Amino acid sequence: MKNCLFAGLISCILIAGCSNKEDGKDSKTALLKTTDPAPVELVDHPETDSFGHAIKKELAKKKELYDVAVIQSKEETLVVYKVKHLQRFKMKKIEKDMEKYLEGKYPGEDFILSSDYKIFLETVRLKEKIQHKSISKKEAEKEFKDIIELQKEKT
Amino acid sequence: MGKTPKTPEQQKYEKLEKQYETKRPLLKNVIKAFFVGGAICLVGQAVSYYYIYFFNFTEQTAGNPTVATMVFFSMLLTGFGIYDHLGQFGGAGSAVPVTGFGNAVISAAIEHKTEGYVLGVGGNIFKLAGSVIVFGVFAAFVVALIKTLLIQWGVI
């Protein structure tokens, strides 16, 4: 019994150190349920150059996905999606299909696709920061670059 | 060496043995192992999400720290004597996940502590878990070799 208590105490201490993270409402649950964030467009002329909304609308129709987030910057567009649980066996095929579709529809654009929960979470966090105007456009672009870096990391 | 038919004495002994052997509740054990193993994996998933949420780990890279943490947890639990009860109850459900590896390492270390730190703990700590490491590394080597060859030949 004493040992049980001691083990419980240690695990409590281990977990307790991580409760003071500032996060918005959406990013708190972004790992667990559908968030459906609005696309972010970091382009100079949003009226003419942007296609983030169009992509999101198109991809949301896909049966295998249940959540799509898009960040469009000047050079590249990051498309993050969550795959339904039983469809995750076909993750590679879904990614290939989407890449083909996007390249066909928007030739000349650079797309980065990811189905990673972490990238999704970071996208939602960035979107919230931009919405609350807590970071400037330059900072937002830097954070976007960081997300891309994170996405490329494999080990 | 071929199989020789059983002698009458052996057959008689087998009959006797069956009388005294306790019957194992196979289905019950399997269900227990399923739930204990599932619970351990649930904790592992939570740890993995913890690393994704609070640190800069992606789903791909969160695996390594998660494994390390789970092994660490099971080492603590083994040291406090809780994992033994869990293993008694859950059987394979507690041995197959990576926590079973931590249990094998630490229980061997505890057992041989009386023989001294170098020849006792140092010499015996990987008595059980050593085979896991050897065959794990070797299997990984073989798989990587096959994959490299297939990529070189342009199959995949």
Give the pLDDT confidence of A138-147 residue by residue, as tens digits: 888 888 889 9
Judged by DSSP in three states, B35 sits in helix
- Judge whether A120 and A147 are in contact, CB under 8 Å: no
Give yes or no for residue A15 having a pLDDT over 70.
Answer: no
How confident is residue B139, by pLDDT bands cut at 50, 70 and 90? very high
Domain boundaries, chain A: 27-154
Chain A residues near residue B62 by CB distance under 8 angstroms:
118
Higher-confidence residue of B132 and A7: namely B132
Predicted local distance difference test score (pLDDT) of residue A109: 83
pTM: 0.81
Greater pLDDT, B134 or A60:
B134
Which chain B residues are within 8 Å of A31, Cβ to Cβ?
49, 52-53
Q: What is the pLDDT of residue A14?
A: 61
Please answer yes or no on whether A154 and B62 come within 8 Å at the CB atom.
no
Whole-number percent of chain B with pLDDT over 90: 82
A152 has a chain B CB within 8 A of its CB: no
More confident residue, B47 or A73: B47
Contact B87, B32 (CB under 8 A): no
Instruction: Return the percentage of chain B with pLDDT > 70, whole number.
Output: 99
Q: What is the DSSP letter of B56?
A: S
Confidence bin at B89 (pLDDT 50/70/90) = very high
Residue B60 to residue A117, Cβ atoms within 8 A: no
**Interface membership of B56 toward A (CB under 8 Å):** yes
Mean pLDDT of chain A: 82
Give yes or no for A86 touching B (CB within 8 A): no
Q: What is the nearest CA distance from A91 to chain B, expressed in angstroms?
A: 14
Chain A residues close to B60, C-beta within 8 Å: 116, 153-154
Give the residue from A73, A76, A154 showing the smallest Cα distance to A118.
A154
Percentage of residues in chain A having pLDDT higher than 70: 83
**Residue range A27-154 in CATH 3.30.300:** yes
For residue A59, is pLDDT > 70?
yes
pLDDT at residue A49 greater than cutoff 80: no
- Mean pLDDT over B125-138 rounds to 93
Inter-residue contact B150 to B156 (CB < 8 Å): yes
Contact B80 A7 (CB under 8 A): yes
Q: In the predicted model, is pLDDT for residue B73 greater than 80?
A: yes
The size of chain A, in residues, is 155
Average pLDDT over all residues of chain B: 92
Predicted confidence (pLDDT) at residue A51 exceeds the cutoff of 90: no
pLDDT level of residue A46 (50, 70, 90 thresholds): low
* SS3 track for chain A: CHHHHHHHHHHHHHHHCCCCCCCCHHHHCCCCCCCCCCCEECCCCHHHHCCHHHHHHHHHCCCCEEEEEEEECCCEEEEEEEECHHHHHHHHHHHHHHHHHHHHHCCCCEEEEECCHHHHHHHHHHHHHHHCCCCCHHHHHHHHHHHHHHHHCCC
Residue B29 has a CB neighbour count (10 Å cut-off) of: 15
Report pLDDT for A21.
Answer: 58
Q: Does the structure show a pLDDT above 60 at A19?
A: no
Of A11, A31, A150, the CB nearest to B49: A31
What mean pLDDT do residues A57-65 have? Answer: 84
Beta bridge partners of B74: none
Q: What is the DSSP string of B65-129?
A: HHHHHHHHHHHHHHHHTHHHHHHHHHTHHHHSSTHHHHHHHHHHHHHTGGG-IIIIIIHHTTTTH
Residue A128 in contact with residue A26, Cβ under 8 Å?
A: yes
Q: For testing the chain A interface, which of B45, B59, B85 should be mutated: the one with the most A CBs within 10 Å?
A: B59
Is A3's CB within 8 Å of B61's CB?
Answer: no
Q: Does residue A69 surpass a pLDDT of 70?
A: yes
Give the residues across from A81 on adjacent strands.
Answer: A68
Pairwise CB contact (< 8 Å): A153 & B58: yes
Query: Over 70: is that where the pLDDT of A16 sits?
Result: no
Query: Which residues 81-110 in chain B show a CB within 8 A of chain A?
Result: 81-82
CA distance B129 to B52: 29
